[in-house]
Amino acid sequence: MKKLAVALMLSATPALAAEGPFFSLNNAEFVVTISFVAFLALLVYLRVPGKLMAMLDKRAAEIKSDLDEARALREEAQTVLASYERKQKEVQAQAERIVETARTEAEAAAAKAKDDLKVAIARRLAAADEQIESAKAGAVKEVRDRAIAVAVSAAREVIVRQMTEQTSDKLVQEAIGEVRGKLHLH
């Protein structure tokens, strides 16, 4: 039913509703129809549809070119993005290697410093022991030297008190005899 109503509406044009003959210049619908047909003929004569089609084809070609260029740029951008992502991964891996190397070197340096410190402490302890022994030996020598000096001084005083000229001559004669014995001068 709907289709029939649409068909009747389309068939009921103003040309069919006009009074009098349709093909008359007094009929406005006929004049409008002739003007419309003449306008369409003028458009065809001036090749407007061809020019419109050429313009549309040119615009379509430009759009296609822009789309191709955009597609190429997108592919290039994806390639660059992939390259940067790869480089980022490489740099990240390199940074991790550098950090690991630095950590290893720091641990090795700390261990070496610890060993060097132990060696330095051992050397200083040995040097301190040597200084103590040297100071001890020096003190012992000083005490002995002082004891010897005191003993010599005391012996001199004893000898001076007990020494007489006769004892002195006797000692000198004994010393000369000793020296001759040692030199073999009989």
The set of residues, in sequence order, having a beta carbon less than 8 Å from that of 43 and lying 6+ positions away, is: 49
**Any domain includes 25:** no
**Any domain includes 74:** yes
Identify which of 136, 115, 107, 108 has the alpha carbon closest to the alpha carbon of residue 123.
115
- Which pLDDT value is given to residue 8? 45
Q: Which of the four pLDDT bands, split at 50, 70 and 90, describes residue 18?
A: low
**Any domain includes 34:** no
- Which pLDDT value is given to residue 4? 52
Dihedral of CA 20/25/27/31: which sign?
A: positive
Specify the DSSP class assigned to residue 125: H
- Which pLDDT value is given to residue 164? 76
Q: How far apart are CA 144 and CA 117, in angstroms?
A: 40
**Any domain includes 2:** no
The set of residues, in sequence order, having a beta carbon less than 8 Å from that of 18 and lying 6+ positions away, is: 27, 28, 29
- pLDDT digit string (tens) for 48-99? 989 999 999 999 999 999 999 999 999 999 999 999 999 999 999 999 999 9
The set of residues, in sequence order, having a beta carbon less than 8 Å from that of 172 and lying 6+ positions away, is: none
Burial classification of residue 77, based on how many CB atoms lie within 10 Å of its CB (0-12 exposed, 13-18 middle, 19 or more buried)? exposed
Q: Which of the four pLDDT bands, split at 50, 70 and 90, describes residue 12?
A: very low
- pLDDT digit string (tens) for 130-178? 899 898 888 888 888 888 888 888 777 877 777 777 777 887 888 888 8
Overall number of domains in the chain:
1
* Chain centre distance of CA 113: 26
**Any domain includes 81:** yes
**Any domain includes 160:** yes
**Any domain includes 11:** no
Domain that holds residue 147: 47-183
Q: How far apart are CA 126 and CA 130, in angstroms?
A: 6
User: Whole-model pTM?
Assistant: 0.38
In order, the DSSP letters of 62-120 are HHHHHHHHHHHHHHHHHHHHHHHHHHHHHHHHHHHHHHHHHHHHHHHHHHHHHHHHHHH
**Any domain includes 57:** yes
Residue listed under structure tokens 């003449």: 38
